[in-house]
Chains A and B, each alone.
Chain A
Amino acid sequence: MHWDLDTFKIRGSEKMANMALMIGLAGLALSAYGYIADRGQFFYSYLTSFMYWLTIGLGALFFTLIHYLANAKWSIIIKRWSETVMFTLPFMGIMFIPICFGLHDLYEWSHEDVVATDHLLQGKAAYLNVNFFLIRSLGYFVIWGLLTWFIRSKSIEQDQGYSESSMMKVRRVSAFGMIMFALTISFASIDWIMSLSPHWYSTIFGVYMFAGAFVSFLSFTVLAIKYFEGKGILKDIISVEHYHDIGKLMFAFIIFWSYMAFSQYFLIWYAHIPEETFWFLDRWEGTWKQFSMLLMIGHFPIPFLGLIVQNAKRNKFVLPTVAIWIMFIHWVDMYWLILPTFSPEGFNLSWMDATTFVGIGGTFIWFVISRYSANSVIPINDPHLGTSIRHTS
């Protein structure tokens, strides 16, 4: 893989993309065997891996929207990257199809006989029913698909000739898109994760998911630009100042995640109403207790102390190390949200957690690399490109 300095495109990435695709397909094939062996485990593992990779794309969508809304200059050199990663959202729509066949294995509310004997679920049936669930899920992917496709294609169009009015259009769409983003990420996380325990509710849940999504996308970005820089791509364009700014965002949103996670827990703990507390008690059962503690310590104190010093955010070894840790702990977060419903007695890692993770992850990476290589990796005609390259934080 190298960088063609005439067109600013990546050349020779096919080998890596194909390898990622092969690994991904192998992972999916093994998972398909898991589907036959243990349906329940398969769907829960699949949903965890699906949400893990989907949230990275959602973080990228937010990053791109805020980039256009704020008319940001510093992030111009990485906007092609965030636009590529957010473009995985419609791709993840294909990956969502298996989940549509596992509703009965995943969601208690999809069983009519259960709902018939459960007063609370009857009350929620107007929202939590199979048809409406599928329509909503389709709606999210349509909105994400249109939004990401429009912004990305308008941005790529600029490589043929810059047009201010066209970028103005993207900014207007971003304003509307930001509202749609807030609504879709909230309702998608309520539908796909929160409704696993249909008796439980938390009004802050969507914001909690958003915080995790954004911080994992930023970590993914740090690792990606570090990798590309090692290959000579973006060399002399990306500087320690850009790492520093991404590091600052990571630091801020780690705190934001902790604030949301604590607020969610705190109100439920204080009010002490059984219909709310059971969700946290489930996550304190058996080995889930240690798992919860890992999340508590791993998602706040460790990255917080790891990034608090300015030099850590400017260090090209420390920052990627913390980024790897955050990507790991984000998986712990997803696992912690989803799996206790399936194995309430305790933490029980399955081989399918690994194969679905690699399966969706491999195809995700294949998609990102091949899309990223398809166009110039920097918007070559952007009038503020120089400002972005010379940026000092």
Chain B
Amino acid sequence: MKLFKRHPDIMLVEFGSPQELIDAAGKIKEAGYKDFDCHSSYAIHGMDEAMGLKPSIVGRISGICAAFGTTSALLLQWWTSAVDYPLVISGKPLFSLPAFIPVTFAVTILFAAFGALFGMLITNRIPRFNHPLFNSDKFGKFSDNGFFVSLEASDPKYNEEGSRNFFESIGGRNIEVLTDE
């Protein structure tokens, strides 16, 4: 019995430049592919639109966490200093909002940052042990001067022969199919 589910096969295609990559992404989207991704060492402006990606939900996760941080910080301070252990500090009322603002602000930021970090990790499905993309020898170039498109075999339009021809027709090079071993 295998411990982890086998990852579907991946077709890896190399492109020559950021411009070629962004043009290819547009054509791949038009051809109706869904499960594909683009890899480059830096963000390329306009890539999201070319790939047809929806706006990320990380901002919303972060926003909800921030609101949770605000309320929990206020409740914590109200409970500890006005209810559970009332303590008069420099003659101020037990519940004095101005004194609580710095902590509330900091906790809001902290929770928003947690939301952004963990939201990003969850939506990216990381950390993970391995990914079949790393079985390729060429793929390492993605962090340097390589521009790649990867297409997963789980895509309904995937067809090894047909997809290979399609990628060749839009200028892809060094096409290889990677299997999860």
The answer to whether B99 and A270 have CB atoms under 8 Å apart is: yes
Across the two chains, which residue of chain B brings its CB closest to A393?
Answer: B45
Q: How far is the CB of A176 from chain B (nearest CB, A)?
A: 34
C-alpha gap A308/B108 in the complex (Å):
15
Given the known inter-chain contacts A270-B90, A272-B90, A310-B59, please indicate yes or no for A392 contacting B98, CB distance below 8 A.
no
The answer to whether B45 and A392 have CB atoms under 8 Å apart is: yes
C-alpha gap A308/B98 in the complex (Å):
23
Chain A residues with CB below 8 A from B98, complex form:
262, 265-266, 269-270
C-alpha gap A270/B89 in the complex (Å):
10
Chain A 224-235 interface 0/1 with B at a Cβ cutoff of 8 Å (1 = within):
000000000000
C-alpha gap A172/B55 in the complex (Å):
40
Please tell me if B57 contacts chain A, counting CB pairs below 8 Å.
Answer: no
Chain B residues with CB below 8 A from A266, complex form:
98, 101-102
Chain B 49-91 interface 0/1 with A at a Cβ cutoff of 8 Å (1 = within):
0000001000100010000000000000000000000000011
Chain B residues with CB below 8 A from A265, complex form:
98
Chain B residues with CB below 8 A from A308, complex form:
63
Chain A residues with CB below 8 A from B59, complex form:
310
Chain B 26-59 interface 0/1 with A at a Cβ cutoff of 8 Å (1 = within):
0000000000000000000110000000010001
What bracket does the count of chain A residues touching chain B fall in?
under 10
Q: How far is the CB of B119 from chain A (nearest CB, A)?
A: 16
Across the two chains, which residue of chain A brings its CB closest to B99?
Answer: A270
The answer, among B46, B99, B101, B102, for a CB contact under 8 Å with A392, is B46
The answer, among B45, B90, B91, B101, for a CB contact under 8 Å with A262, is B101
Q: How far is the CB of B109 from chain A (nearest CB, A)?
A: 11
Q: How far is the CB of A164 from chain B (nearest CB, A)?
A: 25
Please report whether the interface of chain A is mostly helix, strand, loop or mixed according to DSSP: helix
Q: How far is the CB of B10 from chain A (nearest CB, A)?
A: 30
C-alpha gap A265/B102 in the complex (Å):
12
Across the two chains, which residue of chain B brings its CB closest to A272?
Answer: B90
C-alpha gap A359/B124 in the complex (Å):
58
Chain B residues with CB below 8 A from A310, complex form:
55, 59
Chain A 265-306 interface 0/1 with B at a Cβ cutoff of 8 Å (1 = within):
110011010000000000000000000000000000000000
Chain B residues with CB below 8 A from A269, complex form:
98
C-alpha gap A270/B102 in the complex (Å):
12
Across the two chains, which residue of chain B brings its CB closest to A311?
Answer: B55
Q: How far is the CB of A336 from chain B (nearest CB, A)?
A: 18
Chain A 301-343 interface 0/1 with B at a Cβ cutoff of 8 Å (1 = within):
0000000101000000000000000000000000000000000
A107-151 residues with Cβ-Cβ distance < 8 A to B are: none
Across the two chains, which residue of chain B brings its CB closest to A271?
Answer: B90
Q: How far is the CB of A14 from chain B (nearest CB, A)?
A: 41
A247-279 residues with Cβ-Cβ distance < 8 A to B are: 262, 265-266, 269-270, 272
Chain B residues with CB below 8 A from A270, complex form:
90, 98-99
C-alpha gap A262/B55 in the complex (Å):
34
C-alpha gap A34/B63 in the complex (Å):
51
Chain B residues with CB below 8 A from A392, complex form:
45-46
Chain A residues with CB below 8 A from B45, complex form:
392
A176-212 residues with Cβ-Cβ distance < 8 A to B are: none
Q: How far is the CB of B84 from chain A (nearest CB, A)?
A: 23
Q: How far is the CB of B82 from chain A (nearest CB, A)?
A: 18
Pick the 8 closest A-B CB pairs, nearest first. A269-B98, A392-B45, A266-B98, A392-B46, A262-B101, A272-B90, A265-B98, A266-B101
Additional A-B contact list (13), CB under 8 Å, known A270-B90, A310-B55: A262-B101, A265-B98, A266-B98, A266-B101, A266-B102, A269-B98, A270-B98, A270-B99, A272-B91, A308-B63, A310-B59, A392-B45, A392-B46
Interface on A for B, CB 8 Å cutoff? Answer: 262, 265-266, 269-270, 272, 308, 310, 392
- Can you show 8 pairs from A to B with CB atoms below 8 A apart? A262-B98, A265-B98, A266-B101, A272-B90, A308-B63, A310-B55, A310-B59, A392-B45
